[in-house]
Amino acid sequence: MTVLAALFPTDHFLIMTLYALLVSIFFSVLWANERRERIRLFAKIFGALVLGGLAVAWLMYPFPK
């Protein structure tokens, strides 16, 4: 199993983006029926997850570890 992880860089941003990608594809297929609607929903969820993650990371930056 670690082979797959070795193929994927242990970069926080990349893993977060992979997570956002999987979750947004899942919900766009689950919640939307038409292709156009699906693409729009995918873009919204993906953007919200990635940009939201970056915003939270930026807000947390001043705090000590």
The footprint of other proteins (CB under 8 A) covers: 1-5, 8, 10, 15, 18-19, 22-23, 25-26, 29-30, 33
Residue whose structure tokens are 């029926």: 33
**Minimum CB–partner distance for residue 33 and other proteins (Å):** 7
Number of neighbouring beta carbons within 10 Å of residue 24:
20
What is the smallest separation between the CB atom of 41 and other proteins, expressed in angstroms? 14
CB of 58 to other proteins, least distance (A): 19
How far CA 20 is from CA of 7, 38, 47, 63, in Å, comes to 19, 15, 8, 25
